[in-house]
Amino acid sequence: MKNYSQKIPFYICFLLSVILFNSACNQKQPAAAVFVAASDLASENLKGSVTQVESDSYKIDSTGKTGPLDEKNIEKFDSAGYTSSYVSMNGKDSVKTQSNFQHNASGLMVSMQTIGAKNEKKSSMIIELDSAGKFSLAKSYDSTGKMDVFYDDIVMNIFGEVTSAKGHHADSTLKMTFVNDYDSVYYVGGVSKDSVGKVTYSNIMVLNDKKDPSKMDEVTVTTDPKTKKNSTKNTTTTYTYETWDSHGNWTQQTSINEKGKPVKVVKRIILYKE
């Protein structure tokens, strides 16, 4: 499951890991060691020939009342099961951002572009591979086309998922590092650290017997720019599932906070190949 609600700066790291994972390919190795990467459908635990997932989010207030549509996200998949686009909309169906992913003839994602509501450029990323087909460099660019961050020392597991990397400012000074953990192809947590090695964000994801998230513990550390004092926030969210479709994919999920109060409902509309 892609979790686009991850907090900055860990959100950037987690999104990068998802992007790089989406890009994984079969490496040309001896027949006994051929590498086969899982698809995005597999990493998101989606069963069947899914072509699109629409996720509609609704906030629940302190009285338990469900509010109007708060956010809508639409993720589209190509015929090989890789994400081709991801659109984020507000509750009024107005587009906030749209990310498009490009793949080469071998199915490798070679770039990503994100645009805004008026088709204005927001950001982009270019991913480079070495001669062995492994990720060597990922360059992130801002809305003006200027490189703002690049990632190297990228380590992959046997499924092609990124388990660690270093992020640098454009001047090559270290910005941050991150580590991701997986249970097979499923993301189960990670840690993000700043340039001096201080943890800024971490989370641990527990999966249920169907390999869907059942609980997430998060720790966020922020620093006051004036006093330089650190503040730590611990958050625990549990997830329950109310409905599933005929393919076994969940269609309604409820998020519950550490006080046992429901805070959000996500309803999914899943489309399949005919």
- Report phi then psi at 161, rounded to 5: -90, 145
Beta partners for residue 126, in sequence order: 111, 139
The answer to whether 213 and 239 have CB atoms below 8 angstroms apart is: yes
Per-domain boundaries in the chain: 10-272
Pick from 168, 167, 162: nearest CA to 180: 162
Distance CA 175, CA 188 (A): 24
Distance (Å) of CA 147 to CA 55, 125, 164, 172, 204? 32, 9, 21, 11, 31
CA atoms within 13 A on the CB side of 86: 17
Distance CA 6, CA 18 (A): 12
**What's the CATH number of domain 10-272, 2.40.160, 1.10.10, 3.30.1490, 2.40.50?**
2.40.160
Beta partners for residue 119, in sequence order: none
Distance CA 202, CA 204 (A): 7
- Report phi then psi at 138, rounded to 5: -130, 125
What pLDDT was estimated at residue 21? 45
- Each residue's pLDDT tens digit, 186-200: 999 999 999 999 999
Query: For every one of its 274 residues, what pLDDT tens digit does the chain have, with 9 covering 90 and above?
Result: 343 333 334 444 445 554 444 444 444 443 334 444 678 899 999 999 999 999 999 999 999 999 999 999 999 999 989 899 999 999 888 999 999 998 766 556 778 999 999 999 999 999 898 887 778 999 999 999 999 999 999 988 877 788 999 999 999 999 999 999 999 999 999 999 999 999 999 999 999 999 999 999 999 999 998 898 999 999 999 999 999 999 999 999 999 999 999 999 999 999 999 7
Label each residue of the chain as H, E or C: CCCCCCCCCHHHHHHHHHHHHHCCCCCCCCHHHCCCCCCHHHHCCCCCCEEEEEEEEEEECCCCCEEEEEEEEEEEECCCCCEEEEEEEECCCCEEEEEEEEECCCCCEEEEEEEECCCCEEEEEEEEECCCCCEEEEEEECCCCCEEEEEEEEEECCCCCEEEEEEEECCCCEEEEEEEEEECCEEEEEEEEECCCCEEEEEEEEECCCCCEEEEEEEEEEECCCCCCEEEEEEEEEEEEEEECCCCCEEEEEEECCCCCEEEEEEEEEEECC
